């Protein structure tokens, strides 16, 4: 089992690295080359860079992920591709994508996109905060405990 992070804009990379350091559970940060960093990570953390492109990181994660791997992403489309593979998919705001909620999430995203396309203004997501970080940490710990 590995943890894959859709890393370009993920605000909980540090939480995942902290929570996996003791067990040395492998963590793979998948990021666009446009976000290249010289930041050093612990030995159990690997960074995979992909070419620039709207979905390059997503396609790489789908290619690498195996059943029971844990994926961290805010991308509903990516989550919908990983659930049928048997992956555990988590959002950084502290909820788990499931076969029961993914259709509703995709529908809401589609309706918002259609509204924006027709000129309507839609609200964006609320800012990520300390409460969200703690909610994610608790969810991540509970998922690790089950594995």
pTM across the whole model: 0.87
| Strands annotated E in the chain | 3-6, 27-32, 45-50, 70-72, 88-91, 95-97
List all residues 6 or more positions away from 2 whose beta carbon is below 8 Å from its beta carbon. Answer: 25, 26, 27, 28, 66, 69, 70
Arithmetic mean of pLDDT over the chain: 91
pLDDT given for residue 79 in this prediction: 94
Dump pLDDT digits (tens) for 41-75.
Answer: 999 999 999 998 778 999 999 999 999 999 999 99
Domain ranges of the chain: 3-146
Q: What is the Cα–Cα distance from 88 to 65, expressed in whole angstroms?
A: 10
Q: Is 3.30.420 the CATH classification of the domain at 3-146?
A: no
> pLDDT-derived band of residue 109, with 50, 70 and 90 as boundaries?
low
């Amino acid at each position: 089992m590995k943890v894959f992070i859709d890393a370009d804009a993920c605000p909980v990379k540090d939480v995942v690295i902290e929570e996996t350091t003791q067990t040395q559970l492998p963590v793979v940060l998948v990021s666009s080359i446009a976000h290249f960093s010289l930041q050093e990570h612990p030995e159990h953390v690997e960074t995979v860079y992909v070419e620039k492109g709207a979905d390059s990181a997503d396609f790489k994660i789908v290619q690498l992920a195996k059943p029971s791997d844990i994926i961290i992403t805010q991308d509903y489309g990516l989550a919908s591709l990983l659930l049928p593979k048997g992956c555990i998919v988590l959002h950084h705001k502290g909820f788990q994508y499931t076969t029961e909620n993914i259709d509703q999430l995709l529908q809401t995203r589609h309706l918002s996109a259609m509204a924006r396309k027709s000129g309507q203004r839609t609200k964006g997501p609320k800012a990520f905060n300390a409460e969200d970080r703690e909610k994610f940490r608790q969810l991540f710990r509970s998922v690790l405990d089950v594995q």
